[in-house]
């Protein structure tokens, strides 16, 4: 896998790009990362058994709250843009609540510019050229709104303090609680309490990735009510207990790690 940084104007909105090529078949378990993605397949698309579907050659992958496998039969070449939790709607013109817990074909949006981008990425000779095409397109779509700024601030507060209350987040955004919940769902793709579950899970992964082994301490720092709550929620998000996943050697927090 290769990681690429977005251009400077896009860095408040796009976390990074990644490219993966594989001739061999594989199956990999993935976890909720809290960030939606635009996926361009230049080879054979991935299969998601939990959803019983193949990704489209141009896929929008939304927020999910469950672990899932990604399977390739080989001949894989994919280029992916990973967004911050609250920003993808600015580039697609569609609220991410419309692709919650699912993989949607970008062609379903009936957006001629998106369709043209997908065609140009498919025809591009190099993956580096694909990144430049995607980056240039996304730059042309930058149009930040007050709600993006509001929810961006709320997301940053959640990352810093996963136990923060929805009321406190709404106050910080200068919105009533119900209005805040609606705007948050429109920008992020799920409600604040559900997204907080992903933040807690990802932060616990980051602490374990950093070598922390005290599960009671992790539970406290990540906003779980106690160690039992932490283990129960961790298993719901990953399919394994913290100990089982740590022993597997695949502890990695995407949300709290910047690979670019």
Contact call for residues 58 and 111 (beta carbons, < 8 A): no
| Model pLDDT, residue 250 | 83
SS3 26: strand
This model's pTM is above 0.85: yes
Q: What is the pLDDT along the chain (260 residues), one digit of tens a residue?
A: 999 999 999 999 999 999 999 999 999 999 999 999 999 999 999 999 999 999 999 999 999 999 999 999 999 999 999 999 999 999 999 999 999 999 999 999 999 999 999 999 999 999 999 999 999 999 999 999 999 999 999 999 999 999 999 999 999 999 999 999 999 999 999 999 999 999 999 999 999 999 999 999 999 999 999 999 999 999 999 999 999 999 988 899 999 998 87
| Model pLDDT, residue 260 | 76
| Model pLDDT, residue 249 | 82
Question: Residues 125-182: pLDDT tens digits?
Answer: 999 999 999 999 999 999 999 999 999 999 999 999 999 999 999 999 999 999 999 9
| Model pLDDT, residue 141 | 97
SS3 178: helix
Alpha-carbon distance of 152 to 71, in angstroms, equals 33
DSSP string for residues in 124-156: -SSHHHHHHHHHHHHHHT----HHHHHHHHHHH
């Amino acid at each position: 896998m290769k990681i690429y940084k977005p251009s400077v104007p896009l860095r408040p909105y796009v976390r990074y790009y990644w490219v993966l090529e594989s001739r061999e078949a594989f199956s990999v378990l993935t976890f909720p990362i809290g960030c939606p993605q635009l996926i361009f397949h230049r080879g054979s698309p991935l299969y998601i058994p939990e959803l019983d579907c193949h990704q489209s050659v141009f896929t929008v992958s939304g927020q999910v709250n469950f672990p899932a496998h990604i399977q390739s039969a080989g001949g894989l070449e994919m280029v992916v843009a990973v967004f911050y939790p609250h920003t993808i709607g600015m580039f697609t013109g569609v609220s991410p609540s419309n692709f919650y817990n699912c993989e949607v074909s970008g062609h379903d949006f009936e957006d001629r510019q998106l369709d043209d981008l997908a065609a140009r990425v498919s025809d591009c000779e190099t993956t580096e050229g694909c990144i430049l095409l995607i980056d240039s397109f996304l730059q042309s779509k930058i149009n930040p709104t007050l709600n993006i700024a509001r929810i961006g601030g709320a997301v940053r507060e959640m990352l810093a303090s996963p136990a923060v209350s929805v009321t406190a987040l709404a106050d910080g955004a200068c919105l009533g609680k119900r209005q805040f919940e609606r705007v948050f769902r429109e920008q992020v793709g799920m409600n604040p309490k559900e997204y907080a579950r992903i933040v807690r899970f990802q932060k616990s992964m980051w602490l374990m990735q950093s070598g922390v082994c005290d599960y009671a301490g992790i539970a406290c720092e990540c906003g779980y009510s106690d160690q039992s709550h932490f283990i129960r929620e961790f298993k719901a998000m990953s399919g394994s207990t913290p100990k089982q996943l740590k022993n597997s050697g695949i502890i990695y927090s995407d949300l709290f790690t910047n690979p670019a």
